[in-house]
Amino acid sequence: MKRILRLSAFAVLAAAAFPAAAQEKKPLTVSQTASVTATVEAIDSASRVINLKGPDGKVVAVIVPDSVKRFSEIKVGDRLTIQYSESLVVAVKPADPSAKLGTMTDTGVQRGTGEKPSAVISQTTRAIVEVAAVDAKVPSITVRKADGSTQSMRVEDPKNLEGVKAGDHIVVTYREAVALKVSAPPAK
């Protein structure tokens, strides 16, 4: 749900951020990454739950899906490093005017082949939105989403609205990835 809300906000940001002429030439990527390393405190193999103790000392139970094929290789004391990355690739480009508004999502898993389990899970979402209105005096832009709702946003630089007009369909791309890596506990 949070991701969908972010995607809606990103669509508005992207539509307002760059003039139409620049949208096709050079995409902008805004990204952020967070990383945390936790220690495996307990494993319930029957229910596929591991308890992870984070750097703040809190313990969190995590359900491990069946898609994690090397679950049995995780041991108490192992360290699990989780790196979450998300990026908005503002490769906003005109969509086919007849294209339906909506989102398309592709998910992929790349499993590691190292001594310990690891993987990168990624998801790419493309949204097609329609520019409902452009107000150069405010300056602001309003986009219409597939569900018919609209979202408006102020634009800092009015030049960014040049070439954008009501009725334009635009494509916005959003990517996120989670990298997981299990490592042996540190030597004592």
Whether residue 8 is predicted with pLDDT greater than 70 in this model: the reply is: no
* Beta carbons of 129 and 170 less than 8 angstroms apart: yes
Strand residues in 45-75 grouped as ranges (E) = 49-53, 59-63
What's the rounded Cα separation, in Å, for the pair 143 and 57?
Answer: 44
Q: What is the residue extent of each domain of the chain?
A: 2-34+83-182
pLDDT tens digit string along 111-166? Answer: 888 888 888 888 888 888 888 998 888 888 788 989 999 988 776 667 767 777 88
Residue 3: the pLDDT is 44
What's the rounded Cα separation, in Å, for the pair 4 and 172?
Answer: 13
pTM, two decimal places: 0.58
DSSP state, residue 158:
G
Which range, 3-17, 23-37, 40-54, is most confident? 40-54
Whether residue 180 is predicted with pLDDT greater than 90 in this model: the reply is: no
pLDDT tens digit string along 150-160? Answer: 988 776 667 76
Residue 26: the pLDDT is 52
What's the rounded Cα separation, in Å, for the pair 27 and 123?
Answer: 18
Whether residue 29 is predicted with pLDDT greater than 80 in this model: the reply is: no
Tell me the backbone φ, ψ of residue 11, rounded to 5 degrees. Answer: -60, -40
